[in-house]
Amino acid sequence: MSPSRTLPNFSLAELASHNTTKSCYVTMGTRVFDVTDFIESHPGGEDLVLEYGGMDVTDILKDEVSHTHSQAAYEILEDSLVGFLATEKVIGAAAGSTHPDNILPLPATEEGAKELKQNGVVNRVPVFASTGMSSEEDLVKETDLVTDYKAHKFLDLNKPLLMQMWFGGFSKDFYLEQVHRPRHYKGGASAPLFGNFLEPLTKTAWWVVPTIWLPLVAYGTYIARAGCSSLLEEGAYWFLGLFLWTLVEYILHRFLFHLDKYLPDNRVALTLHFLLHGIHHYLPMDKLRLVMPPTLFLALATPFWKLAHFVFFWNWSIATSVFCGGIFGYICYDLTHYFLHHKNLPSYWRELKKYHLQHHFMDYENGFGVTSRFWDGVFGTEIAPPPVKTL
């Protein structure tokens, strides 16, 4: 048994003061947990954690409407135990009362923190075989880098990943099994990909996407106006492009990013797959590898520019309007993708968030729609509801 470790008692006033990004505490009953380090990594965004800063989270963790949290969420709390709440019972006992209601908490030992596992969650959380995950909280449970590498002999997250992929000699089956079992890099940072001066080129902040592409979409829409018979005609073709993007989004995600079964079993194909989309499934909460780098997007967008002008060959302006509508759809897609991973959102996007994160932790072979589930419904690739939790 671990030696005793006396933990402090906190008053309600002290607890309530810990509700900022610099210091955030929550409680479950009389147990107090410091979740400051978890704020930025929370799948629902930091606002949702701060909303309950200094408060009891017992009910929200079990709330089916919000999201029933998995074993991983409780384990994160377990590792963050910092003390106990000084309720009236505790204060009374500390003052020397002998009334049977005035009961102090059990001795604060490291072993005692394991009582979190006695909340009945452990035996009723399904684990999905394809990913080894239970729910979205598993996506942000920090991976022990040394233990993970020793156990799986896949990629050492302490070292640059690209050369490990190239020289790893992984079989296709082993690679696909490992890359779809998400890890979470320490401190929410980005794992090294090149490990040299090229590293910054692999990272893109979400705001780069609208900053670069929105002005170009606006300019393209403006110059296309001259060749259209009316504003209504241009608008109709622009929205046609926006609608077509939703189909392109689905096709790219399903048949390019997830062409898993059709990958050649060689290091060139596996490394390219890892760079294109595998790294996102391997490290799904990496904030700087969630949107497409401008250079990669330019390479992917160029064929669609040519395709638009081939299909709508009779009018350059109409083709440009369709293309601009499509690029606006892409901007919405990339921003939606980022916020689904990292922010708490209004009701419509909250359902999309659940759906997309299920694609990561539950069933990566379905659920390819990001901005909409429409095409998943059309092509029969919707994610089946998770199994009902039973005691």
Write out the binding residues.
Answer: 42, 69, 253, 258, 277, 280-281, 337, 341, 356, 359-360
Question: What φ, ψ does residue 180 adopt, rounded to 5°?
Answer: -100, 15
Residues 306 and 323: their CA atoms lie apart, in Å, by 9
Which residues contribute to the annotated binding site for Zn(2+)? 253, 258, 277, 280-281, 337, 341, 356, 359-360
What is the side-by-side order of every strand in the sheet holding 31-34?
9-10, 81-85, 31-34, 25-28
Look up residue 384 and give its DSSP letter: P
Residue 318 phi, psi dihedral angles, 5° rounding: -65, -45
What share of residues in the chain are helix, strand, coil (percent, to 5)?
55, 5, 40
Which residues make beta-bridge pairs with 57?
Answer: none
- Secondary structure in 3-state letters for 97-145: CCCCCCCCCCCCECHHHHHHHHHCCHHHCCCECCCCECCHHHHHCCCCH
- How are beta strands 81-85 and 9-10 bridged, if at all? parallel
Are the CB atoms for 366 and 377 separated by under 8 Å? no
The binding site for heme comprises: 42, 69
Q: How many Cα atoms sit within 13 Å of 264 on the Cβ side?
A: 6
Measure the CA dihedral 23/27/31/36, to 10°: -20
Report which of 136, 11, 26, 140 is spatially closest to residue 80, judged by C-alpha positions.
26
Q: Is 95 helix (H, G, I), strand (E, B) or coil?
A: coil
Number of Cβ within 10 Å of residue 39's Cβ equals 19
- Give kind and range of the element (H or E) at residue 64: none
- What tokens appear for 381 in the block? 């690739």
Contact 208, 168 (CB under 8 A): no
